[in-house]
Amino acid sequence: MILLGIETSCDETAAAVVVDGATVLSSVVASQIEVHHPYGGVVPELASRKHLEAIVPVVDEAVRKSGVDLKQIDAIAVTQGPGLIGALLIGFSFAKGYAFTLNIPWIGVNHLEGHINSVFLEPDPPPFPFAALLASGGHTSIYHVTSHTQAQLLGQTRDDAAGEAFDKVAKVLGLGYPGGGIIGRQAEKGDPGKIIFPRSYLDKSGFDFSFSGIKTAVNRYVQTHQDEYQEQIPDIAAGFQEAVVEVMAYKIIHAAIETDCNHIAIVGGVAANRRLRESVRQNARAKGISVHIPSFDLCGDNAAMIAAAGYHYLKEGNESDMDADVYSRAYK
């Protein structure tokens, strides 16, 4: 079954063509980073306008690059939520219209389930059940995943998302937006043991997170070291990253052990973080747990993961109808 996937929930206009929820024939991601960069974050109104400009060329490019004919596309999967309402509406309305015109089924997909399904686009996907850490700019959660379409939430952040913390710390340090990649690169040049920031485990046996305290701690450090912090940016970045990674690595491994899972998946934009990938792999190996992390381009928002999740929903007999609408908040 050949699916066209479409994703416009935040600041990436993306389209992909995927076979059987596993083989990516094409994946096109048009980033709006340059549009939002001067504002230090995503401006919803600008995001919608950019999606509107980009959606047709991005879908055309994905179809062309896939090598399949439009007539060969069996169905469309599109992000329904959570995300920015105006941004979601562009992709969602386009998908409805396109499916109607092509006279093929279509399915609205939860963005978070898309991220979870991104590991199935890689050669060595985990068997069910597995424990998943989803860490992105909007969410940080741990799930017990029992099928492509079933995931039980074990814990989540009570305040900021992990990616949001990276973005805010980068802003405080004057490094620009989005902060994840920038902090990661700075951290590689720094010493994680030089400036120690607090680790927020909350209840050590639980799976909830809190990242607002560490963001405040970095802010306070910068305020109280105005004269020298510029020269310490690599050490601040490394110290911050280490504190965040340590807690996430501990909790996901603990979740796998608690739920008797021998497999872990790390997904979402923050899964691109090298230190996180390395730390989880290292700690998991010692416990005999396998770790599955998508390649870098499938960690951040993309439409291939939406097509992957959508394929399994369609296979289970689900389909969306023309009354379906987008939603802004996570429902699971």
Residues engaged in binding ligand KG4 (CB under 6 A): 10, 136-138, 163-164, 166-167, 178-181, 184, 268-270, 272-273, 300-301
* Burial class for 102, CB neighbours closer than 10 Å (0-12, 13-18, 19+): middle
Residue 108 interacting partner from ligand KG4, Zn ion, none (CB closer than 5 to 8 Å by kind): none
Select 242 or 301, whichever has its Cβ closest to Zn ion.
301
Select 39 or 100, whichever has its Cβ closest to ligand KG4.
39
Give me 316's structure tokens.
């289970």
Provide the residue count of the chain.
332
DSSP three-state, residue 14: strand
Report the DSSP pairing between strands 106-110 and 75-81: parallel
Select 33 or 196, whichever has its Cβ closest to ligand KG4.
33
Q: Which residues pair with 91 in a beta bridge?
A: none
Min dist CB 227 to ligand KG4, Å, is: 28
Distance separating alpha carbons of residues 233 and 180, to the nearest angstrom: 14
Min dist CB 78 to ligand KG4, Å, is: 15
Residue 300 interacting partner from ligand KG4, Zn ion, none (CB closer than 5 to 8 Å by kind): ligand KG4
Find out whether 106 and 77 touch, Cβ atoms under 8 Å. yes
Residue 270 interacting partner from ligand KG4, Zn ion, none (CB closer than 5 to 8 Å by kind): ligand KG4
Closest CA to 305 of 21, 12, 9, 8: 21
Strands, E, within the chain: which ranges?
Answer: 2-7, 12-19, 23-31, 75-81, 106-110, 130-135, 140-147, 150-156, 263-267, 290-292
Min dist CB 268 to ligand KG4, Å, is: 4
Residue 179 interacting partner from ligand KG4, Zn ion, none (CB closer than 5 to 8 Å by kind): ligand KG4
Q: Which amino acid is at 182?
A: I
Residue 77 interacting partner from Zn ion, ligand KG4, none (CB closer than 5 to 8 Å by kind): none
Select 41 or 213, whichever has its Cβ closest to ligand KG4.
41
Summarize as ranges the residues that interact with Zn ion (CB under 5 A).
136, 301
Where do runs of H (alpha helix) occur along 118-261? 162-172, 179-188, 212-224, 233-258
Min dist CB 180 to Zn ion, Å, is: 12
Cα distances (angstroms) measured from residue 46 to each of 59, 150, 171, 180, 185? 20, 34, 20, 22, 28
Select 42 or 233, whichever has its Cβ closest to Zn ion.
42
Min dist CB 59 to ligand KG4, Å, is: 19
Min dist CB 296 to Zn ion, Å, is: 14
Select 243 or 271, whichever has its Cβ closest to Zn ion.
271
Min dist CB 64 to ligand KG4, Å, is: 24
Closest CA to 127 of 320, 297, 261: 261
Select 177 or 311, whichever has its Cβ closest to ligand KG4.
177
Residue 155 interacting partner from ligand KG4, Zn ion, none (CB closer than 5 to 8 Å by kind): none
